[in-house]
Amino acid sequence: MKKIFHCLFLPALFLLNALHVPAQDTDSTAGCHVRISVLTVEPGQELYSIFGHSAIRVQDSLKHSDIVYGWGTFDFDEPDFYLKFMRGKLNYFVSVDAFNDFMQEYKTDRRSVWEQVLILNCTQKDSILSALAVNMLPQNRFYQYDFLKDNCTTRIRDMIFAHTPNMEITDTLTLPGVSFRDMIHEYLDEGAKPWSKLGIDILLGSPTDKKPNNQSAMFLPDYLMQGLDLTLADGAPVTERENMIYQGAPCDCLTWTYAPLMTASVVCVILFVISLIPIRWAITITKFSDSFFFYITGLIGILIVFMWFFTEHSSTANNFNIAWALPTNFLFAFFVWRHHKWTRPYFLIVSLIYAVLLATWFFLPQELNIALIPVVLLMMFRSFKLGGKKIPKEYNAEVYF
């Protein structure tokens, strides 16, 4: 069964059904009786829909057809689906849906939809119709999705700019100093997704901290809509003013933006205090927490290495989170329970790495999530203690700082 993937989300959990209908035929005068517009759907409340959606609508007054082209479709039954999904090698493709079916989904979710009618002459419409028809051919329908560079919104951007000559954006779409990561954070903050923001910050590497230009900023639907509003072709607007064709309900998104930071701070302070108590129950809890933190950070480090070197996701490369999520921590997590002499140099080196990381935290070429600071502080302290001298036994147990 075919499924639609919301094309502006990192590997997602939810898939949407797609209806496939034949591509529209074109002739030399097809554009004169066709109306082409860009649809922009506001962000939803679920994580898979947090960045919104874009599509192209084509209305043909002669054929009495009204269809929507979208570039976020893939086949859930494709062999090795999950492996290809993780590695960024899953083929996405363009498909079409009846406009009423397209709208029904967003009416159900109560998400607003805007339409921008493109101001094109017959020749330009013909050109876009031909491009859509060529894109629908079996040999051209598929592409490898890239979150920042090649998604369902950038495909629409590129098609419009390629077939409308002399287009020029008249203003800057982003504020000075704003990065791709800042743009992503804007949606996660407004959608009340602080924990998702933490996870995404861990997975996305330094390419996400680059500053976009007007063209690359339009990888998000809202920015594409804004960019088209500010674009002229030969001195004239390329779109009519956007029109809200369906008004949804406002997002009732209430959460605490700093929930991950405060949660991590409270947990780490409690574990720090417990680690200073030289009695059996505190020693046992400290051993468990040390083993757990080294195990989890090691697993995250292995995932970062995999996403960096063994996938096609350009946005997960050069990830400075590897400085705290050391893959070797996974191995040494199993030696925490026994205070082996040969493991001490490793823990001392780790404590030094964490100290340097904390000292340079806000000067790195990648923004690291501040909720990780308490975790790194605790692990720096615990690593230093684990690398120290062995303490005499008390209460029939090894005193474990």
The tens place of each residue's pLDDT in the chain, 401 residues long, gives 444 444 544 333 322 232 233 334 434 455 789 999 999 999 998 888 899 999 999 999 999 999 999 997 877 777 877 677 777 777 889 989 999 999 999 999 999 999 999 999 999 999 999 999 999 999 999 998 888 999 999 999 999 999 999 999 999 999 999 999 999 999 999 999 999 999 999 999 999 999 999 999 999 999 999 999 999 999 999 999 899 999 998 877 767 789 999 999 999 999 999 999 999 999 999 999 999 999 999 999 999 999 999 999 999 999 999 999 999 999 999 998 777 889 999 999 999 999 999 999 999 999 999 999 999 999 999 999 999 855 444 434 444 44
Asked whether residue 190 is domain-assigned, the answer is no
Q: Looking at the structure, tell me whether residues 236 and 268 fall in a common domain.
A: no
Specify whether 269 is located in the same domain as 236.
Answer: no
Q: Name, in order, each residue with C-beta under 8 angstroms of 391's C-beta and a sequence gap of 6 or more.
A: 398, 399, 400, 401
Q: Are 233 and 270 within one domain? A: no
Same domain? For 225 and 92 the reply is yes
For the record, the structure tokens of 348 come out as: 């001392």
In a domain, residue 204? The reply is: no
User: pTM surpassing 0.75?
Assistant: yes
* Domain shared by 278 and 312, yes or no: yes
Query: Which is nearest to 215 in space by CA: 185, 180, 177, 188?
Result: 180
Measured CA to CA, the distance from residue 96 to residue 152 in angstroms comes to 13
One-letter amino acid at 379 equals M
In a domain, 201, yes or no: no
Residue 39 lies inside a defined structural domain of this protein? yes
Are 278 and 238 contained in the same domain? no
Same domain, 239 and 302: no
Number of domains in the chain: 2
Report the alpha-carbon distance of residue 290 to residue 336 in Å, rounded. 7
Residues 78, 119, single domain; the answer is yes
Calculate the CA 390 to chain-centre distance: 45
* Cα torsion angle, 156, 158, 164, 167, sign: positive
Backbone angles phi, psi at 315, to 5 degrees: -80, -10
Rounded Cα gap, residues 211 and 394, in angstroms:
57
Give the C-alpha separation, 322 to 205, whole Å. 10
- If you count them, how many residues does the chain have? 401
Q: Which of 35, 1, 4, 207 is nearest to 115 (CA)?
A: 35
Domain boundary among 190, 221, 246: 246
Helix (H, G, I), strand (E, B) or coil at 299: helix
Do 362 and 222 belong together in one domain?
Answer: no
CA 214 to each of CA 108, 150, 168: distance values in angstroms, whole numbers, following the listed order = 33, 15, 10
Which residues does residue 243 pair with via DSSP β-bridges, in sequence order? 115
Question: Does 145 lie in the same domain as 285?
Answer: no
Strand partners, 54: 40
Q: Where are the beta strands (DSSP E) in 148-276?
A: 167-169, 231-233, 236-237, 243-246
Distance (Å, whole) CA 72 – CA 92: 6
* 223 lies in the same domain as 295: no
| Distance of alpha carbon 356 from alpha carbon 376, whole angstroms | 11
Residue 321 within any structural domain of the chain = yes
* Same domain as 331, residue 296: yes
Domain carrying residue 166? 2-174+212-246
